[in-house]
Amino acid sequence: MPGFREHITGSTIVGIGYGAAAWYVGEVPPLTCLLGAGLCSVSGMLPDLDSGPGIPMRESVAFAAAVVPVMLLPRLENFGLPTEALILVCGVIYLTIRFGVTYLLKEFAVHRGMFHSIPAAAIAGLTAFLAFASQEPMHRYFVASAVVLGFLTHLIMDEIWSVKLGMFGPKIKKSFGTAVKFLGNEAWANIVTYLLVVILGALAASDASVTERLSVVRQQVEQASRQYPNTPPLQPIYRR
Ligand SMILES: [Zn+2]
């Protein structure tokens, strides 16, 4: 099984490629590319959150606790909250993720359970999509895909490492097929996972339609302002 370092290296390389490609092809601004590359890199350690207390769990939970409130800031500002409330809300989100999520992971996560699965990758992507409230719909898809890509990189690396080249051709370890999968062994874990996919998917879809509509309105306003530029103020004409 690849360790923490291999996973982070793999997803960082994929993230840099993803960000660079988006930057090269155009349309995506460099800052968004950088955010995508970073999130892809970090997402490479997400699936191993189920491996119990250790570096992946401690680091990714601490990272998420710090980054999620910042990603939610534009959204919270839309509510028109005063600065004091913003700080309090961010603090509560931080503590909930830092301690609440750690508790849940310690209690319920089974190694190579549903955390190592395709629907879990979808959950991670949908969460990123909901948390990252960009005005540009394309940027949201780009950032959410970065998380899914990092997650999948981890799963695929797990599978690649479970095939070892022996003297007589490739040898397959027992762990083969436990990373890239759609269903786990526990029924309740499968139900919870797919329920989350459906709920988050519905939330993301309704949210996406709102942002799409907003961006269409914004484009129309921009177009209108281009079509009807403000008439320059008339110069007073003085007659002699
Ligand atoms: Zn793994």
Helix pair angle (4-25, 55-78), 10° resolution: 40
Residue 55, pLDDT above cutoff 80: no
Q: Can you point out the beta strands (E) in the chain?
A: 163-166, 169-172
Q: How far apart are the first and last CA of the chain?
A: 92
Q: Which is more confidently placed, 155 or 220?
A: 155
Residue 44, pLDDT above cutoff 80: yes
- Report the C-alpha gap between 1 and 104 in whole angstroms: 24
Buried b (16+ CB within 10 A) or exposed e, 96-135: ebeeebbeebeeebeebbbbbbbbbbbbbbbbbbbbbbbe
Q: What is the reported pLDDT for 168? A: 63
Q: Find, among 58, 82, 53, 60, the residue nearest to 11 by Cα.
A: 60
Task: Give residue 39 CA to ligand 1 midpoint distance, Å.
Answer: 17
Name the residue ranges covered by the structural domains of the chain: 4-52+112-165+175-227, 54-108
Task: Give residue 179 CA to ligand 1 midpoint distance, Å.
Answer: 7
Task: Give residue 121 CA to ligand 1 midpoint distance, Å.
Answer: 12
Angle at 60 between CA 2 and CA 125, to 5 degrees: 90
Task: Give residue 51 CA to ligand 1 midpoint distance, Å.
Answer: 8
- Report the C-alpha gap between 236 and 238 in whole angstroms: 6
Task: Give residue 130 CA to ligand 1 midpoint distance, Å.
Answer: 25
3-class secondary structure, 233: coil
Task: Give residue 155 CA to ligand 1 midpoint distance, Å.
Answer: 6
In this prediction the pTM is 0.79
194-216: pLDDT as tens digits: 999 999 999 999 888 887 787 78
Q: What is the reported pLDDT for 240? A: 66
Q: What is the reported pLDDT for 232? A: 58
